[in-house]
Structure 1
Amino acid sequence: MERPAAQCIWAAGLSRPACGMGWDFSGTPWAVTALSLRTLLQHQPAVTMPDTVSAILSATPDAVAIFTDFDGTLVEIAPRPDAIVVPPELASRLEALHAALGGALAIVTGRTIAAIDAFLFVPDISVTGSHGAEWRHEHHVERPLGHLLADAAEIAHRVSDTLNGQPDLLVEPKPTGVAVHYRAAPEKGALAHAALVRAIDGFNDFQTVDGKKVIEARPKSADKGSAIARLMQVKPFAGRIPIFIGDDVTDEDGFAAADRLGGFGIRIGEGETHARYVLPDIAALYTYFDALITARHPAATPHPNRERSTP
Structure 2
Amino acid sequence: MQHPPAIDPETHALFLDFDGTLVDLVDDPQKVHLAPDRIERLRVLTDRLSGALAVVSGRQIADLDRFLAPLSFAAAGVHGLERRRRPEADVEILMAPEALDPVRDGLAPILEENQRLQLEDKGTALVLHYRTAPDLADLAETAMERATEGRNDLVVMKGDNIVEVHPAGMDKGKAVDDFMTSSPFEGRVPIYVGDDTTDEFALKIVSKKGGIAVKVGAKESVADYRLADVAAVHDWLAG
Q: Do 2:43 and 2:71's aligned partners in 1 also have CA atoms closer than 8 Å?
A: no
Deviations 1:90-139 (A, max 9, x none): 22111001011111100000000111112112553101101000111231
Q: Distance in 1 between matches of 2:9 and 2:132?
A: 44
Structure 1 segment 138-157 matched on structure 2, within 5 A: 138=86, 139-146=89-96, 149-157=97-105
Query: Which residue in 2 is equivalent to 1:274?
Result: 222
Query: Which residue in 2 is equivalent to 1:203?
Result: 151
Within the alignment, does 1:252 sit opposite 2:238 as a pair?
no
- Any unmatched runs of 5+ in structure 2? none
**Secondary structure in structure 1 of the residue aligned to 2:113:** coil
Higher mean alpha-carbon deviation, 150-159 vs 66-75, is at 150-159
**AA matched with 2:94:** P
Q: Distance in 2 between matches of 1:159 and 1:84?
A: 26
Deviations 1:224-258 (A, max 9, x none): 00000000001111111111110010100010010
Q: Supply the RMSD in Å over aligned alpha carbons.
A: 1.7
Q: Do 1:152 and 1:174's aligned partners in 2 also have CA atoms closer than 8 Å?
A: no
Structure 1 segment 78-117 matched on structure 2, within 5 A: 78-117=26-65
Q: Do 2:10 and 2:49's aligned partners in 1 also have CA atoms closer than 8 Å?
A: no
- Over 2 Å off, 4+ runs: 121-124, 160-163
Within the alignment, does 1:57 sit opposite 2:6 as a pair?
yes
Query: Which residue in 2 is equivalent to 1:298?
Result: none
In the superposition, the TM-score normalised over structure 1's length comes to 0.73
Query: Which residue in 2 is equivalent to 1:40?
Result: none
Q: Distance in 1 between matches of 2:178 and 2:70?
A: 21
Larger Rg: 1
* C-alpha deviation, 1:88, in angstroms: 2.3
Within the alignment, does 1:216 sit opposite 2:176 as a pair?
no
Number of positions where the alignment pairs a residue of Structure 1 with one of Structure 2: 237
Q: Distance in 1 between matches of 2:227 and 2:71?
A: 27
- Any unmatched runs of 5+ in structure 1? 1-46, 292-311
Deviations 1:175-199 (A, max 9, x none): 1111111111112111000000111
Q: Distance in 2 between matches of 1:82 and 1:177?
A: 17
**AA matched with 1:57:** A
**AA matched with 1:209:** M
